[in-house]
Structure 1
Amino acid sequence: MTTTSTLSIRRFDARDTDAVVALWQEAFPEYRDVTRPQRNPHLSIANKLATQPELFFVATLDERIVGTVMGGYDGHRGWLYSLAVDESLRRHGIGTRLVAHVEQVLTGLGCPKLNLQVLSAKTDIREFYEALGYRADAVISLGKRLGELAEPAAVAN
């Protein structure tokens, strides 16, 4: 970033789709894996636009999208998703500002706690969040894919 560059955070707009998909495919290699339909970035964007689109943000630097983050709030817990920063601009505070932005918006909605998940193999990402004050909860994260993405049920003996 140059000293004349201006970073701003705003709500996602549908015109941002191509730039966000490109950023996510760089930041999340699994989004390039066509054998994992649950990682389809276009589906993720469409789903977010159908559910709390006001909690989908992009960071722009001189009008170029350089970061993204999604938030969610169900009235009990908040969630942080899809934090991504252009690889060439990491360690310049963009991710920190995006997280702070979501924290501020969710706090304004009355959200008492913000959760996020990090793949266990991504220790560098975990260290980033720990530096921002996030700690591992004493829980086990369970998940189940639904609908078209569901895995076949195990047969009981």
Structure 2
Amino acid sequence: MSAASITIRAFDEADTEAVLALWLQAFPEYGDPTRPHRDPRLSIANKLGTQPELFFVATRGEDGAIVGTAMTGYDGHRGWLYSLAVAPEARRLGIGTRLVRHAESALAAMGCLKLNLQVLADKPEVIAFYDALGYRADAVVSLGKRLGVQEPEAIA
């Protein structure tokens, strides 16, 4: 397999099971029942309801197997890149780079001027991958809140 034999196209609902299998390999936290916010089926369903044209899969030319994914979004202010995954046997062939560049082009065509992404701090190899593509840490603090989860009351 070579990067030249890879096609990048929009996700189709028929791709769901193959994408889920890939994500379970690439993101072990998806199989962790203590992290219900990491529900890959819900992620796919939500993406199909919002800018589904920005959900990409990379397929292998020989058999059409899905070997990569990139999910993106654009809110009119900034773009976001999520769920970049490449099958273990297809890594180091340029597929991840092609997916990122494809996502960047799609977002730029929509007028997006800045693309953000988040990487877990304990993934130095992923940080190095994005660094090689020109991504740099912004001088910001990323905050998050799980909605629908009871937060402890602030002590007054």
Q: Distance in 1 between matches of 2:123 and 2:92?
A: 16
User: In 2, Cα distance between the equivalents of 1:126 and 1:154?
Assistant: 35
Paired residues, number: 154
CA 1:19/1:76 → structure 2, altered by over 3 Å: closer, same or farther?
Answer: same
1:151 CA displacement: 4.0
SS at match of 2:21: helix
TM-score normalised by structure 2 residue count:
0.95
Q: Work out the CA distance in 2 between the residues paired with 1:42 and 1:105.
A: 24
Separation in structure 1 between the aligned mates of residue 132 and residue 15 of structure 2, nearest angstrom: 30
Deviation at 1:94, TM superposition (A): 0.3
What residue number does 1:29 align with?
28
TM-score scaled by length of structure 1: 0.94
Which deviations, in whole Å up to 9, do the C-alpha atoms of 1:67-113 show, x marking residues without a partner?
Answer: 00011100000000000000111110000000000000000000010
Aligned to 1:75, the other structure's residue is in SS state coil
Q: CA deviation at 1:36?
A: 1.2
Counterpart in 1 of 2:52? 53
Structure 1 residue 37 displacement after superposition: 1.1
**Residue 133 of structure 2 corresponds to which residue in structure 1?**
132
The alignment-based identity, stated in percent, is 64
**Amino acid corresponding to residue 123 of structure 2 in structure 1:** K
**Residue identity opposite 2:108 in structure 1:** T
Assess if the C-alpha contact under 8 Å between 1:11 and 1:58 holds in 2: yes
Q: How far, CA to CA, are the matches of 1:129 and 1:51 in structure 2? A: 25
